[in-house]
Structure formats: C-alpha cells, structure tokens
Structure 1
Amino acid sequence: MTPEGFLAPEYGSRTLSDVVPAVARSLGAPLGGSPDEAGVALVLPPAPAYVVFLVDGLGAELLRRYEHAAPFLASLVGRDSVGSATVPSTTATSLTSFGTGLPPGAHGLVGYTSRIPGTDRLLNGLTWDSGVDPREWQPHPTAFARMSAAGVSVTVVNKRDFVTSGLTQAAHRGAEYVGADRVGERIAAVQAASAVRPSLTYVYDADLDWTGHKFGVASTQWLQQLAMVDAEAEQMREALPGHVRMLVIADHGMVDSPPASRIDLDDRLELRSGVTLLGGEARFRHVYCARGAVEDVAATWREVLGDRAQVLTRDEVVASGWLGAIQPSVLPRIGDVVAACRGDAAIISTADFPYENQMVGLHGSLTPDEMRIPLLLA
C-alpha cells in the first residue's frame, strides 16, 4: 500500500518510462517484444514526427499553482495531461527511465547518488565516475536505440557539455546528438531534426530546475524562469509545421524545504550508528549499513524521523514496487535502508553533502508535488 501523502508510480501506465514507447506506437514503429508494450495506458495521436520537450523540474502541481506565469503551457492542460515521475523523483533516474523505457529497478540508476557495489564509493548519476562504464552500469538497449533500429530518426538536442557524459551514454545512446546551448539554437535544431519522417526529437532544458534549487519554487526568480520556459515552448510550437506533434513533459517537480524542516545527520549522531555510507539525496536517502546493523538502523531512523519520513529496509523497497521489478545486479545499489521524506522535510549531512544545505528547492521523494509531471500535447 502507498503511504499517506505519497504518490507511487504505476509503471506501464503513465510514467516517464512509458513516454517513448507511446511515441513509438504513434509513429507506427512499436518497440514490441518487451514489457513496456503490455497494457500501457498512455496513448498519443498518430503523427509522422514527434518533438518531446522535457523541462527539468516542471511539476504538474507547480504548473497548476503558477499557471498565470505560463499561459501557453497552462492552455494545454486537459483531463489526461498528468503523468508520473519514477522513483526516486530525481533527474538521473527519471531521464534514464525516459530514454530506456524501463523502470529504475531494471536500468539501475536508482538515485542521484548510489553505492558502487563492492566499494565504499558513490556513483553520482549526473557527474558520473570515470571508473564506471555507463554501458555496464546500464546494459540494456535504450528505447532510443530500438527506435533507430526500427527505422525512426531519433535526435537528442541538449547542451554541448553533455554529449560524452556517462548519463547520456547510459540513458540516451543510440540517438544522434546535437549540441545546442541557447534557446535559438535549440529551436533551430528541433526544426531540422523533426523535418525527417518518421522521427523523434528530444530536447532538454535544465534552467528551471537550477533556478528552483537556488531560489526555491516560491521565488520571483523561479516564476520569471517559468515564464521564459513558457515562451520557449510557444516559440518552438510556432516554428514547427502542423503535422509535427509536440509533447511537453518534465522529469519531476520540486518542494521548498525551509531550514526548520531539515534534519542534519551531523547533529543527530544516533542516526550515524551502524551506517557506513550515505547516498541518495536529501529527500530520498539511501543508507548503507554495517553487517548485521540493518534492523537497528531502520528502527533508529524510524524513531528519530517519526512522521517526517517513510523508512523502509531494502526488502521493503522491493516489495513496495517503487522502483518496479528489480534485477539482481541492481539490488546492492539500493540502500540497506531507504528514507523517503514527507511534507517539506529533508535529511542532510553538512559533512558529506554540504551543497545540499545551500539549496532551497529539493526533490526525490514521492509527494504529489514531486511525482506529478505534465504530459502536454501541443
């Protein structure tokens, strides 16, 4: 059962991992022969070309709350225009689910940071680790690659710096990559790529998420950035011919976490007892334990955190279905104990992750503000 205040993903229905398979079917090139084809509830209208514009951090609840700042995007909202992020609701996990068509338990990027099995090191899913081969960490053919093999032209339009990143190789390999750092470049690249039939063009904008982390989603700066994203989406739609469909989505939403709602592990040393490594992020913490300490750690975290977080052992995470079906190779990447925050709480460590305490907006957990994402067809 889903804990009160949480929204669990329904894989195979309307999550990020269902978007590209749905686009493939609409292009007349269903991926076939995989679980992402069975019983999928996300149905998109047929078209010879699709553009998917992913706005990092644009939660559906945030768009509803601040629709006055995004009139174009708000005009696209309808009865079937909400989907779900994957768990945890964080960029590395979500973008990999989007690009592979797989839930996190299959593709293996189970958080912003997670333990490299057999080591005391963390893999950061965004900055990566030169000693970790992204094709081994995520060995499955991506949905992009499978679409390309089926004769669909697939293009990723993203910042130049990301072309060789580990995340790009894990999540989006198999597509042509076009580097574009500015709005005008992105729109021109989308125009060119979507002229091919059949085609999928994926374009990514990270600025709203960055602004939310720095200033919070209740800030003037965030509202101004939302207005700029809205203008970009409208300009992109106007630049495309009518036969090209555009789908605006997000990877997750965000909540502002005030200092009074934060639990610093460096101030509560009992939360360190039996813990050998901390991973995840402030809203969804992976906790790796010493041998034989799991039950004691889970009990202590439950007692100290109370109703501010849902604390599960790894076995309970598997049973919850939050990550979908979990492959054996992925299991040791998941914390022995996992803590998913409720409300606006955050579990920080100023010693291990000093940058997190400088952020205002956070994400990663299963609250509706973080989990609900727009699926806006234009």
Structure 2
Amino acid sequence: MSFMLPSASPSARSVVGVADDLFSALRGESALLPPADSVVLVVVDGLGAISLRGHAGHARALTTGMAKKDVAYSVFPSTTAAALTSIVTGVWPGEHGLVGYRVLDPARDVLVNQLSGWETDGIDPLTWQAAPTIFERAGRRGHESFAVGYAGYAHSGFTKATLRGAEFVAATTAESRIEAAYELAHSHPGSLVYCYLPEVDKAGHKYGIASSEWVAALEDVDAALSTRVPPGVGVVVTSDHGMVDVAPSRQVVLDETHLEGIRHVGGEPRMLHAYLEPDADAVAVTARWRADLEGVADVVTREEAVRAGLFGPTVTAPAASRIGDVLAIARASWAVYDGTAADQRGRGMVGQHGALTAEERQVPVVRLGAFSR
C-alpha cells in the first residue's frame, strides 16, 4: 500500500519546538523571539488554527495581529497525551513514548490510559515518560519554573510525567489562571511559566466546535487573554491540537467479525491502535481492515507508520512496543469504534481528534507582551 502524509511544508513549524523557543528567548538566544525578562507558555487545549480563524470575531485578543504564518503543526497522533508531552519535552512521541490515548503496556499485556489512567492503570510517570521536561532543563540553568492549572491536576500521574521540575500553582477560572501566570512571571524575573486552559477542548468534545457552547468557551478564554501582560514578560499562546465534529452518521462500529485476530484495540476513534493475537496473520488482518475501512480510514502497519516518520524521526524501543501492529487513521470527519468494548461512552463525543487532517494538526502560535510584533 502506498501511504502519503498530508502535505506540509518542510520548513513548517512544529509544536515540538515551541517551549524551547521560549526558553531560548529567556536566555536572549532565540532566532524567532526577542529577549524577555520572563516567559509564559499558554496552552489552550483543543484550539485548532482553522477553527480559531473561522471564529475570529469571537476571539479578538487572539486573532488581532495574528499573521498567516502564526501556526504550527501538532504531532501524530494529534491527541492531548502525545501532543502536550511533546510541547513540554521538546521531543516527538517516538521518543517520549506517549504514542496515543490508550496504548498497550506490553510487559503486562494490558491497555493503559496515558492521560487519566496513570494511577488506576499502574503506570510509573517517572519511567514511562523518561524524557526531561523543559522545566527540568530550565532548573539546571538556574531558572524557576511554574505550572498553573486546575487544583485537581496538581498531583496526577500525567502532571508528574509532563510537568516535573515546575512548581504547581492552582487557579479555578481561565481568567484567574492567566492572571496567576502573569503575576508569577512578573514577580520572578528569569522564570518560565506554563498555563493550561482546557475549557475549549471540553466544550468541543461535549458539544462540537459548531456549537454555541464552544463559542462561549472560546470567548471566555479570549477575554482572559485580553489581560494586560506585565512589562518585560513574553507570552506565546498555542495549542496541542484542533478537532473535527463527528456526526452519528459518520460513526463506524467494528464488531467481532472485523476484530478477528485482534487482541486489544487502543488509541481513540480517530486513530486506533490494533494489537494482534500472537498467532494472527498480520497480512490478512491488515488487508481485511483496509477493505472494511476503505474511504473511512487509512490503514497502515506499525512498520509503515514508523518508516513514514509519523511518530517523529526517532522511535525508541519502548515507544515502538506501545504502537499497534495495525493503525487506522480516520479520514475527513469519520470515527471508528470498537463495538465490543464494555464502555461505549466515547460514542457520545461530538468534537474529536487524533488523526492527520489540517483541522486537527494546525494550531495557532500567537505572540503577546514582549513577544508582540
């Protein structure tokens, strides 16, 4: 099978380098950003560049002065666990190892949730995600780091895996988180501050990006970002991924016939990882999925995906062991579900992500404060 990635310029910016750009600006060494006394990285979860531009009238703080080039490409899969980890470590999923939403732990032959299942699924955040974070690297250079988010995230396994090296500061609303981030940057010269805003993503999953609820969440985040940035503080606002709305008529449900020879189905509906039974005929299963999902998803083997560079230029042995034997990457606005799974709540989600469309992969990179043009 010939598999071709969606086109992107070889010089296109990636979210993988955004945090390092800020840290370089803090040291006065960035080729992209002017020097700053302190820096703030704001991640608006789930905010794609295409959907942002389509709703520019509801996001004037974010889009006023936003140039055509103020975009970056998310990683694959375009999902929170993989992309947020790439943003804060500066490496691709093939290196940090978070290669999907739910993936196989081959040592125990069980699926684990890499976003919210660290405690319940028994994953050690210090070994499962071994890449150093930007905050750890900043600390070694004598710079303080802070992470601002919901109090409930402070001690989660995902926080320990991705934000280690930063002092966690809790705040409730988007506005209070931005205010706290700016105040930390102002009162701690030379610091690196991370601020996480999940409101847009939550509204998108529940109601879709075409909904009034999603627009309201965008307006709230934009209002928070209209807060005056303190002098000398450089701010970059970006996202981990965008999303597409999936209608019920675009849901494809796999039954036992489709899943013959498959031991586990991981990932998420727009990017499934299929892990085969030890005695399964991999060629036959791949051929069957290509026939079953023709026009709905691109079906590739692990080897094809790695060779195509989907998970980045380097794929470590631990990361490779977590990638499915067969992957189903949804096209357009389709989603593919394991109909045999006990939990079918995911079929109620409207906004989804994980695949390779421009709506999912293109994210904004907006400069504020000392970084403004």
Q: How high is the TM-score relative to the length of structure 2? A: 0.92
1:242 and 1:2 mapped to 2: Cα distance? 49
2:51 and 2:90 mapped to 1: Cα distance? 25
Instruction: State the partner residue of 2:41.
Output: 52
1:65 and 1:190 mapped to 2: Cα distance? 28
**Map of 1:132-143 to 2, 5 A cutoff?**
132-143=123-134
2:133 and 2:12 mapped to 1: Cα distance? 19
1:253 and 1:180 mapped to 2: Cα distance? 24
1:306 and 1:254 mapped to 2: Cα distance? 22
Instruction: State the partner residue of 1:166.
Output: 157
Q: Secondary structure at 1:123's aligned position in 2?
A: strand
Instruction: State the partner residue of 1:35.
Output: none
> Are the equivalent residues in 2 in contact too, given 1:257–1:362 (CA < 8 A)?
yes
RMSD: 1.9
1:367 and 1:260 mapped to 2: Cα distance? 19
Instruction: State the partner residue of 1:121.
Output: 110
Q: Secondary structure at 2:169's aligned position in 1?
A: strand
Structure 1 residues 113, 8: closer, same or farther in 2, change over 3 A?
A: farther
Shift of the alpha carbon at 1:340? 0.7
Q: Secondary structure at 1:95's aligned position in 2?
A: helix
Determine which of 311, 336, 348 is the counterpart of 1:358: 348
Determine which of 273, 281, 302 is the counterpart of 1:286: 273
**Map of 1:155-304 to 2, 5 A cutoff?**
155-195=146-186, 196-235=188-227, 238=228, 240-266=229-255, 269-291=256-278, 292-304=280-292
2:12 and 2:134 mapped to 1: Cα distance? 16
1:8 and 1:358 mapped to 2: Cα distance? 32
Residues 238-257 of structure 1 show CA distances to partners (whole Å, capped at 9, x for unaligned) of 1x223211111011000001
Structure 1 residues 72, 2: closer, same or farther in 2, change over 3 A?
A: farther
Structure 2 gaps, min length 5? 369-373
Instruction: State the partner residue of 1:33.
Output: none
Structure 1 residues 97, 29: closer, same or farther in 2, change over 3 A?
A: farther
Determine which of 319, 325, 334 is the counterpart of 1:345: 334
Q: Secondary structure at 1:307's aligned position in 2?
A: coil
Structure 1 gaps, min length 5? 31-39
- The amino acid that maps onto 2:257 is E
1:261 and 1:126 mapped to 2: Cα distance? 25
Shift of the alpha carbon at 1:24? 1.3
Q: Secondary structure at 2:258's aligned position in 1?
A: helix
1:358 and 1:215 mapped to 2: Cα distance? 9
Shift of the alpha carbon at 1:53? 1.1
1:209 and 1:9 mapped to 2: Cα distance? 27
Determine which of 53, 64, 78 is the counterpart of 1:89: 78
Structure 1 residues 29, 270: closer, same or farther in 2, change over 3 A?
A: farther
Instruction: State the partner residue of 2:371.
Output: none
Shift of the alpha carbon at 1:129? 3.1
Q: Secondary structure at 1:50's aligned position in 2?
A: strand
Structure 1 residues 194, 67: closer, same or farther in 2, change over 3 A?
A: same
- The amino acid that maps onto 1:114 is V
- The amino acid that maps onto 1:156 is A
1:169 and 1:7 mapped to 2: Cα distance? 35
Structure 1 residues 7, 213: closer, same or farther in 2, change over 3 A?
A: farther
Residues 322-375 of structure 1 show CA distances to partners (whole Å, capped at 9, x for unaligned) of 111100111110000011111001001244241210101100001000000000
1:189 and 1:60 mapped to 2: Cα distance? 26
> Are the equivalent residues in 2 in contact too, given 1:156–1:203 (CA < 8 A)?
yes
Shift of the alpha carbon at 1:108? 0.3
1:263 and 1:7 mapped to 2: Cα distance? 26
Residues 198-217 of structure 1 show CA distances to partners (whole Å, capped at 9, x for unaligned) of 12111011111010011111
Instruction: State the partner residue of 1:3.
Output: 4
2:293 aligned with 1:305, yes or no? yes
1:277 and 1:17 mapped to 2: Cα distance? 29
> Are the equivalent residues in 2 in contact too, given 1:270–1:300 (CA < 8 A)?
no
Shift of the alpha carbon at 1:188? 3.4
2:307 and 2:150 mapped to 1: Cα distance? 38
1:7 and 1:210 mapped to 2: Cα distance? 29
Q: Secondary structure at 1:373's aligned position in 2?
A: strand
Number of aligned residues? 361
1:230 and 1:185 mapped to 2: Cα distance? 13
Q: Which moved more, 1:343-352 or 1:281-290?
A: 343-352
- The amino acid that maps onto 1:272 is L
Q: Secondary structure at 1:20's aligned position in 2?
A: helix
2:194 and 2:96 mapped to 1: Cα distance? 19
- The amino acid that maps onto 1:83 is A
Q: How high is the TM-score relative to the length of structure 1? A: 0.91
Shift of the alpha carbon at 1:7? 5.2
**Map of 1:71-82 to 2, 5 A cutoff?**
71-82=60-71
Q: Secondary structure at 1:271's aligned position in 2?
A: coil
- The amino acid that maps onto 1:355 is R
Shift of the alpha carbon at 1:78? 0.6
